[in-house]
Amino acid sequence: MMNKEIVLITGASSGIGKATALLLLQKGYIVYATAPELFGMTDLQEKGAKIMQLDITNSENCKRIVDYIYKESKSIDILVNNAGYGLYGAIEDVSIEDARQQFEVHLFGLIQLTQMVLPKMRDNRKGRIINISSILGRMTLPMGGWYHASKYALEGISDCLRQEVKPFGIKVILINPGAIESEWANLALSKANENSKNTAYSNMTNQLTHLISKSIKIQGKASKVAQKVWKACQSPKPKIRYVVPAHAKLLCIFQKLVSENSFNYFKEKLIMLVTSENKKKYPSL
């Protein structure tokens, strides 16, 4: 039997959001796919999604979308908070204005939208909030301080929200992707170059470039993350978090097994190894 639950997905114009929308449509969900611009979602509309323009940092926009869905479909059973981007660059170099915007998207805008759907979920005594975080919300690398901080904040508030809404039958689930095929890496790298390429942190910017070039070789498919989101949507007892793909799981397991100092040493050596390999190929670096 086809599932007719109502799903609202943010950041659905590409990557994980689009893959999730496509899979949930295939599984029979009624999908409201949103993004700041509509042009990246016309293919979703052709597949049956209801596409809508949504800037999650705009409270009036959020309220208008939520009210419209309630008027048309009477309910939002599942909210997939996926909208996001990577603000990279040395912490010293990134402007506080840009840093605040990273938090507006990953935390305040996300929670603002969540607050708007929770009252009806509580009335219905059911609902699922699925927050797309990152393994970089559980471990850090240089040059991504503001991105990491926003995802760490999302992890903390999700864990707290889960406890608060459990008595009302609402489940809060975290998805922690590792390196996934999308435009995310290129955008993050362009931000790093914009902020720190010509500063005291230029060498670290080069290291980040090499690290990302290596990570491309192990990137997982966005469809793999979508499968975990679907599992979180339909499982009677979903996990608190789903880590995907395999390399992300291995990193998280390794982090748990060793001391913080040992894990930090491992990361430093990994970055040095990648950089030294690239210097052999490109001596001018």
85: left (phi over 0), alpha (psi -120 to 50) or beta: beta
235: annotated active-site residue: no
Give the amino acid at 65: I
For residue 36, the SS3 value is: coil
138: left (phi over 0), alpha (psi -120 to 50) or beta: alpha
133: annotated active-site residue: yes
Question: Regarding beta strands 6-9 and 170-177, do their DSSP bridges make them parallel or antiparallel, or are they unpaired?
Answer: unpaired
C-alpha to C-alpha distance for 17 and 12, rounded to whole angstroms: 4
Catalytic residue chosen out of the listed positions 18, 151, 171, 191: 151
C-alpha to C-alpha distance for 236 and 148, rounded to whole angstroms: 31
Catalytic residue chosen out of the listed positions 32, 50, 88, 133: 133
User: 214 Cβ partners below 8 Å, 6+ apart?
Assistant: 274
Residue 25, both tokens? 């449509």
Question: Regarding beta strands 170-177 and 127-132, do their DSSP bridges make them parallel or antiparallel, or are they unpaired?
Answer: parallel
Catalytic residue chosen out of the listed positions 29, 88, 147, 242: 147
Catalytic residue chosen out of the listed positions 13, 134, 158, 196: 13
13: annotated active-site residue: yes
- Looking at the DSSP bridge assignments, the partners of residue 53 are 35
Crossing angle for the helix pair 260-281 and 202-215, nearest 10 degrees? 90
Annotated catalytic sites, by residue? 13, 133, 147, 151
